[in-house]
Every structure is written in C-alpha cells, then in structure tokens.
Amino acid sequence: MGTNLKNILSEKRPAILDRWVDHILDTYPSDTASFMRDKKSRFANPVGHSISAGVEGIFEALLQGIVQEQVSVFLDNIIRIRAIQDFTPSQAISFVFFLKKIIRDELAGEIRENSLADELMLLEDQIDSLGLLAFDIFMRCREKLYDIKANETRSMTFRLLQKANLICEKPGEEPDVPDSNSE
C-alpha cells in the first residue's frame, strides 16, 4: 500500500480524534471539560457525547470524501449546541479549524518524509470548506432561535388581542415567521 496522507490519517485516527476532542473541550471551563471528558453516558453528558460522536463523523467524511448532507448532520450536532452557549460565532465554529493544526502537529514527520505537502494542502482546502459549511449551519441555528423568539412573542400578543376581542381572524390565518429549518 502506497504511503498517502489518508492512510497515515487512518492509522493515526485515535490520536488525532483524542486531541481534537480535547481541544474542543478545552474551550469550556476546566471543571466542565473534565466532566465532559469523563462522563460517558450520552444522556448524562449530551455535549461531550455530541462532540466526540460529531468529530468522528466529520473525520470519517474527510477520509471517505465529503457528502455534504451527511457531514452536515455531524457538524450540526456540535454547532447547534455551541450556538446557544457562551461563545462568539468564531468560537462556536473554530473547532473545525483546530483539526488543521492537530494534523500538522501529529503528522509533521510523515508529511516531510513522504513529501505529502500537496496532499495536505488539498485536505486543508476540504477542512476550509467544512468551515464554511459550519458557518452556514451556525447561522441557521441562530436564525431558528430568533424565529422561535419572534413566534412566541407574536402568537402570545395575537392570542391576547384576540381574547380581548380586538381582532377576529381565525388562528389558522395567522402567518408565522417563515421557518428557517426548511431550506
């Protein structure tokens, strides 16, 4: 088997994924990072679980070739959470780019020895495109959040006016703010 970047990535998969997860968890306060690292139950620790399952899925997609719908699910599972936590937009999606540095660090020797710089560049382009996708997903999550806020407030005001007999349309005619989940 020829030495190409993907083979090496496959071999080093556990180490890379561990570092990736660690790096993401380190964006949380240290007590929380240890909780998220140690607690394995997906129900007791949904954030930690979504992150580890998510990065696995994303990594696999990089190895196998990216199918946007598939990889979106994994990105979404992580980003949907970070979009409502204490992060700025760049912090929320930065985890995608962490992978570049991790791969460079982990594979520095191999890349040099086997002259894989070109392959690395291609891979990094792919990671960049995942970064862009991540940004779209982040925006969709935020838009969804605003829709929910707006619809809650709207439907409440509407019903109250209706109850006070100030308006008389049927509820069914009330136009909702368009749903940003549907693309």
Partner 1 sequence: MAKGPNKEELSKLDYTLPSTEWMDTPVEFKPGTFCWGAKGKNLQTVEFPNARDWTPVEDDWKLPQEWEGTVLEAMADRLSKYRSFKLFMDICVRCGACADKCHFYIGSGDPKNMPVLRAELMRSVYRKYFTTPGKILGRLAGARELNVDVLKEWWYYFFQCTECRRCSVFCPYGIDQAEITMMGREFLNLLGLNTDWISGPVANCYMKGNHLGLEPHAIMNSIEGMIDDIETITGIRINPSFNRKGAEILFVTPSGDLFADPGTFTAMGYMMLFHELGLDYTWSTYASEGGNFGFFTSNEMAKRLNAKIYAEAKRLGVKYIIGGECGHMWRVLTQYMDTWNGPADFLEVPVSPITGTRFENSKSIKMIHVAEFTADLIKHGKLKLDPSRNDNLKLTYHDSCNVARGMGMMEEPRYIIKNVCNNFYEMPEDTIREKTFCCGSGTGLNASENMELRMRGGLPRANAVKYVHEKHGVNMLANICAIDRATLKASMEYWVPQVSVTGLHELVANALIMTGEKERETNLRGEPLPGKEGN
Asked if 55 contacts 102 with a C-beta cutoff of 8 angstroms, the reply is: no
Cα dihedral 11/13/16/18 (nearest 10): -130
Q: What's the rounded Cα separation, in Å, for the pair 4 and 175?
A: 55
| Residue from the set 22, 26, 113, 125 that interacts with partner 1 by CB under 8 A | 26
Nearest to residue 176, comparing CAs of 158, 161, 162?
A: 158
CB of 1 to partner 1, least distance (A): 30
CB of 3 or CB of 104, closer to partner 1: 104
Sign of CA dihedral 151, 155, 157, 158: positive
| Closest distance of CB 12 from partner 1, Å | 19
Q: Report yes or no: 37 and 25 within 8 Å, Cβ to Cβ.
A: yes
Judged by CB under 8 A, the stretch of 10-18, 64-72, 81-89, 111-119 that binds partner 1 is 81-89
Residue 14 or residue 31: which is nearer to partner 1 going by CB? 31
Q: Which of 67, 68, 58, 47 is nearest to 16 (CA)?
A: 58
Q: Which of 11, 15, 84, 121 binds partner 1 (CB under 8 A)?
A: 84
Query: 29 or 108, CB closer to partner 1?
Result: 29
Is 53 a binding residue for partner 1 by CB under 8 A? The answer is no
Q: Is 22 in the site for partner 1 (CB under 8 A)?
A: no
Asked if 23 contacts 97 with a C-beta cutoff of 8 angstroms, the reply is no
Contact positions vs partner 1 (CB under 8 A)? 26-32, 35-36, 39, 41-47, 80-81, 84-86, 90-91, 94, 97, 100-101, 141, 144-145, 147-149, 152-153, 155-156, 159-160, 163-165, 171-172, 181
